Chain A
Amino acid sequence: MNIEQLKEQIIDALNLEDLTPNDIDNDAPLFGEGLGLDSIDALELIVLMEKYYGIKLQNPAEGKQIFKSVNTMAAYIDEHRTK
């Protein structure tokens, strides 16, 4: 899993224009205090996982665990990716 590439995909998908991959701490929370992302961002991350990694997440509630940080997201993608 290329973490830098994932960060770039996140920045692009969520329009985090003021940020670079270096600004995102791999273990910092993505939601709440971290990057200040919201529920629409969470849905957009679900689209990102399907688009680039072929992962279909039916239950958005699962996102809460998966999107805790860049590292947890990368681990989930490693385990479930189909492309």
Chain B
Amino acid sequence: MISIIADNILSPLGETTEANVQAVREGRTALREHRLPGVPESFVASLFEPSIGFEEGLIRSIRGALASAKEKGVEIDMTSKEVIVIISSTKGNVADFECIGASAQHVASHFGNPNRPIVVSNACISGLSAQILAMRLLRTKAYRYAVVAGMDVQGKFIVSGFQSFKALSPEPCRPFDGDRCGLNLGEAAACMILTNEEHRTQGEWCLLDGAMRNDANHISNPSRVGEGCYRAIQQLGHPTDTWSCISAHGTATLFNDEMEACAIDRAGLSQVPTYSLKGCYGHTMGAAGILETIIALHAAQEGWIPATKGFAESGTTHEIHVTREEEPCPKGDVLKLLSGFGGCNAAVGYRRLSENTEVSWPQEPKVSGIADLEMRYTLRLTPADMPDGMTAFYKEHVGNYPKFYKMDPLCKLGFLATELLLTEEKEAEGELTPEAETTRQDTRAVVLFSKHGSMADDHAYEETIRDAEAYFPSPAVFVYTLSNIVTGEIAIRHQYKSETACYILEEKDWPKMKEIIVTTFQDSGVKSVLGGWVDYNNDHDFDADLALFELITT
């Protein structure tokens, strides 16, 4: 069982978990109107004042969590190989166009950690993806502790992009409400320390399980029937009557809340008290999954369910139980949901350890090692394979998918490599029956690694906002500034509705990639993984190195 031994939240509402839990209980918010140089329109957000840099925020939050662990009598030696640092962020230090992997390395090095940190860049579900990865790695016993920290900094880049998406609310957001009209952005750093150590103390929270599922529908619009969110909840295989409350994503955009309510209803959870914390914090992106989990667990432990600040009257087609006021929290498990661009969705369940837990603990999943991994087909694409460029290569080898032209170079590269890899598979194994095809689509995960991520598109987007006289932020360019969109494009093209995940590493490191890919099979719904390296720096420096993985069956 993987338990949470300490945590910290650093937000405009306070520098400790306790201060933040108290602030939420009092219904406080730091959401207010802001202006930024170079951004013509004002916006409502929850920002650090004075500002806190990406690495500084992560370091302070990790330090806070380590201090909190120490208070509980757990001294964590960050210089030990038994500690892995996992960073959750969508854009890192994008203002300076720094690779997130480099920032993460600075943070890990600050604490003298000898392991290469792993960055989870899975759009808005990153904070839950990072916990799921930590849980899986700890189950393998490769590490004793995982330090999971998330942050995003809100500057001109992200604000202008969300404005171009017409996604921002001009007032404090109203999750699930009939008058909701968009989200607010927020800044925070948050950290959780997880362990596989058996020093369980009563009251400690454990991760029951977690799952990620893709809508395979659209890169920015969620599935109207909440398909991926529903599937992620169902994958947990948890009895509906044991959830005490749901900490929803609840961004307050028209589409997110509608789809989330639909997924919650479809999963038979419409009576379970559900809330969103976005009215207190705004959308803190890379921090959201960690921050909102910490608040959820501390509130449940104290016996209350937070009110959904900003919610008055239900505004979703599917009626669910959204909290208007604080409610008493019955004993039971806590469900956390998130959804994000690229069609990704995540659900994680938590249970509190107590002496008289009547419900049985779920069976631990099968944990396989790298030796159990079978690489079935491989495909490599480098500039040498495309002397006339990607478009010419596409026309010659694919040619029937006009969406290709809309993609950024990272997605184009991942798309082309996938097309060729799957052609290789099809030629070797023949056409599948429709039933077998559906099974494959439901059970094939897409797990990609990159160094530069969306950096090339980051520069392209910056061009659209650089000049005050010609300031035309492009939504079509902005959407690709999330590194995980490449996994979404592949999922959409091939209707893969299983897990999709994107990780940033400082260099192509096959042992590390395999270490992570094999953990994906801890999800019992995953039967094969399309995974590997997809990195684009410029037209002369890119590398796609993909493979299809299955577990060796004996």
Partners in one complex: yes
The interface of chain A, by Cβ under 8 A from chain B, is: 13-18, 36, 38-41, 43-44, 46-47, 50-51, 60
* CB–CB B476/A60 < 8 A: no
Contact of A44 with B402 at beta-carbon distance under 8 Å, contacts A39-B221, A60-B166 already known: no
Q: Which 7 A-B pairs have the closest CB atoms?
A: A43-B475, A17-B405, A15-B405, A60-B166, A44-B476, A15-B406, A51-B472
* CB–CB B164/A43 < 8 A: yes
Which positions 395-448 of chain B face chain A at CB distance < 8 Å?
402, 405-406
* CB–CB B220/A40 < 8 A: yes
A75 → chain B, closest Cβ, in Å? 23
> Which range contains the number of B residues in contact with the other chain?
10 to 19
Report B-chain residues with C-beta under 8 Å of the C-beta of A18.
402, 405
Asked if B474 is at the interface of the complex by the 8 Å CB criterion, the answer is yes
Residue of chain A at shortest CB distance from B473: A47
Report A-chain residues with C-beta under 8 Å of the C-beta of B542.
none
Residue of chain A at shortest CB distance from B254: A61
Asked if B300 is at the interface of the complex by the 8 Å CB criterion, the answer is no
* CB–CB B221/A14 < 8 A: no
* CB–CB B472/A50 < 8 A: yes
List 9 A-B residue pairs with CB atoms under 8 Å apart, sorted by A's residue number. Answer: A14-B476, A15-B406, A16-B405, A17-B405, A40-B479, A43-B476, A47-B164, A47-B472, A47-B473
The interface of chain B, by Cβ under 8 A from chain A, is: 164-166, 218-221, 391, 402, 405-406, 470, 472-476, 479
Report B-chain residues with C-beta under 8 Å of the C-beta of A43.
164-166, 475-476
A39 → chain B, closest Cβ, in Å? 6
If A14-B476, A16-B405 are given as contacts, then 11 extra A-B residue pairs at C-beta distance below 8 Å, sorted by A number, are A13-B476, A15-B406, A17-B405, A18-B405, A38-B221, A40-B219, A40-B220, A40-B479, A43-B165, A43-B166, A60-B166
A3 → chain B, closest Cβ, in Å? 22
* CB–CB A14/B406 < 8 A: yes
Report A-chain residues with C-beta under 8 Å of the C-beta of B473.
47
* CB–CB A40/B475 < 8 A: yes
Bound Cα distance A29, B218 (Å): 20
Contact of A16 with B402 at beta-carbon distance under 8 Å, contacts A39-B221, A43-B165, A47-B164 already known: yes
Bound Cα distance A39, B254 (Å): 13
* CB–CB A47/B474 < 8 A: yes
Scoring A14, A40, A46 by chain B CB atoms within 10 A of each residue's CB, the highest score goes to A40
A18 → chain B, closest Cβ, in Å? 6
Bound Cα distance A46, B166 (Å): 10
